């Protein structure tokens, strides 16, 4: 009888635990883990997510190791949607650079939604005696030039190496800790060019302190409509964007993933949120889990090839 009671107790505890786990999302506070880049978009979203879900939504930074610690935290979290990674274009690059890191970005994390994208623009300092991209390439073949980035393996670095490979030139890479430092040296003439998010350099372009020569997107950007795309310039493979989205543990139920996607998409499409985000410099988009997954797989294949060809290594 005693043994039977123990079995009944065990079954009851298992059932209670299962019932708690199976309750509809969200049933507890939510964490957004930030591993790379700025967290402003996560904080803007967290305010509205908390209202919609009637749960606290906490933004936590874990910026060490290029986002690896944040990604690993979410990959190994309870797969109930309560721990969300603020993902970015840095993660496919990280996977290519660190194939043996503690988690696999594509196998251990599931894409939920992409919600921002950013145009990258190639800007040069005013001291360089060229006014268009074709002349810049000719100059780069005649003399030594360099480009700045915000670190080895970042999107701005990959953009520069993409330019090297597609235009068959040899620009020297100069890494910086952040964009403000790189842009300061660009204006001062210590470096000649940078691939930068348009939002970070648009005021300097408008003030005539930097020359924009090309944008990295499929179509021209509405804020600098006179600047051609690299496709127009004859380099269709210099094509990339920065982006942000949400990922969860790959074991998260599809029902929960769909719930997060639906609610975030609704938030993003409200005029109030769009106004706040656009004032902060974000270009909003909505890409669902399937489309997002396909996009980042192509993104990885491209950057992996560039990294191998350029023999980029990270400590």
List the chain domain ranges.
Answer: 29-117+242-310, 118-215
pLDDT of residue 2: 53
Please report how the helices 90-97 and 155-167 are oriented relative to each other, as an axis angle in degrees rounded to 10: 70
Tokens 């993933």, located at residue:
257
| Fold entry, domain 118-215 | D-Maltodextrin-Binding Protein; domain 2 (3.40.190)
Domains 29-117+242-310 and 118-215 share a fold: yes
pLDDT of residue 18: 45
Check if the beta carbon of residue 191 is closer than 8 Å to that of residue 147.
Answer: yes
pLDDT of residue 315: 65
Statement: residue 89 has pLDDT above 50: yes
Q: How confident is the model at residue 36 (pLDDT cuts 50, 70, 90)?
A: confident
Q: How much is the pTM?
A: 0.84
What number is the average pLDDT over the span 111-118? 96
Statement: residue 74 has pLDDT above 50: yes
The predicted-structure confidence for 159-203, as pLDDT tens digits, reads as follows 999 999 999 999 999 999 888 899 999 999 999 999 999 988 999
pLDDT of residue 13: 47
Q: What is the 3-state secondary structure (H, E, C) of the chain?
A: CHHHHHHHHHHHHHHHHHHHHHCCCCCCCEEEEECCCCCHHHHHHHHHHHHHHCCCEEEEECCHHHHHHHHHHHHCCCCCCCEEEEEECHHHHHHHHCCCCCCCHHHHEEEEEEEEEEEEEEEEECCCCCCCHHHHHHHHHHCCCEEEECCCCCHHHHHHHHHHHHHCCCCEEEECCCHHHHHHHHHHCCCCEEEEEHHHHHHHHHCCCEEEEEECCCCCCCCCCCCCECCCCCCCCCCCEEEEEEEEECCCCHHHHHHHHHHHHHHHCCHHHHHHHHHCCCEEEEECHHHHHHHHHHHHHHHHHHHHHHCCCCC
3-12, 261-270, 286-295: segment of lowest average pLDDT: 3-12
Tell me the CB-side half-sphere exposure of residue 169, using CA atoms within 13 A: 24
Strand partners, 119: 241
pLDDT of residue 163: 96
Statement: residue 61 has pLDDT above 80: yes
pLDDT of residue 7: 46
Statement: residue 19 has pLDDT above 50: no
pLDDT of residue 273: 95
9-13, 273-277, 298-302: segment of lowest average pLDDT: 9-13
- The closest of 188, 190, 161 to 173, measured between CA atoms, is 161
CATH of domain 29-117+242-310: 3.40.190.150
The average confidence (pLDDT) of the chain is 90
Check if the beta carbon of residue 191 is closer than 8 Å to that of residue 185.
Answer: yes
């Amino acid at each position: 009888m005693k043994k039977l009671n123990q079995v009944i107790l065990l079954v009851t505890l298992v059932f209670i635990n299962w019932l708690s786990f199976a309750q509809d999302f969200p049933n507890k506070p939510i964490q957004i883990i930030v591993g790379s880049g700025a967290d402003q978009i996560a904080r803007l979203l967290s305010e509205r997510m908390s209202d919609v879900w009637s749960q606290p939504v906490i933004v936590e930074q874990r910026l060490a190791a290029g986002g690896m610690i944040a990604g690993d935290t979410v990959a190994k979290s309870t797969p109930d949607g309560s721990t969300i990674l603020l993902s970015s274009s840095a993660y496919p690059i990280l996977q290519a650079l660190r194939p043996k890191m503690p988690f696999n970005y594509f196998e251990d994390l599931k894409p939920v939604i992409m919600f921002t994208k950013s145009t990258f623009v190639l800007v040069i300092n005013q001291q360089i005696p060229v006014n268009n991209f074709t002349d810049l390439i000719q100059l780069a073949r005649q003399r030594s030039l360099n480009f700045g980035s915000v670190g080895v393996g970042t999107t701005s670095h990959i953009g520069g190496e993409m330019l090297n490979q597609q235009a068959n030139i040899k620009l020297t890479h100069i890494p910086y800790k952040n964009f403000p430092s790189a842009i300061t040296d660009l204006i001062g003439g210590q470096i000649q060019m940078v691939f930068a998010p348009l939002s970070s350099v648009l005021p300097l372009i408008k003030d005539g302190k930097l020359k924009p020569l090309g944008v990295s997107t499929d179509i021209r950007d509405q804020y600098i409509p006179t600047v051609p795309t690299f496709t127009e310039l004859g380099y269709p493979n210099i094509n990339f964007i920065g982006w942000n989205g949400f990922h969860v543990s790959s074991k998260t139920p599809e029902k929960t993933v769909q719930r997060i996607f639906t609610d975030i998409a609704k938030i993003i499409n409200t005029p109030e949120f769009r106004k706040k985000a656009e004032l902060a410099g974000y270009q909003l988009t909505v890409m669902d889990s399937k489309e997002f997954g396909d996009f980042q797989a192509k993104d990885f294949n491209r950057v992996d090839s560039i990294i191998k060809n350029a023999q980029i290594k990270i400590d």
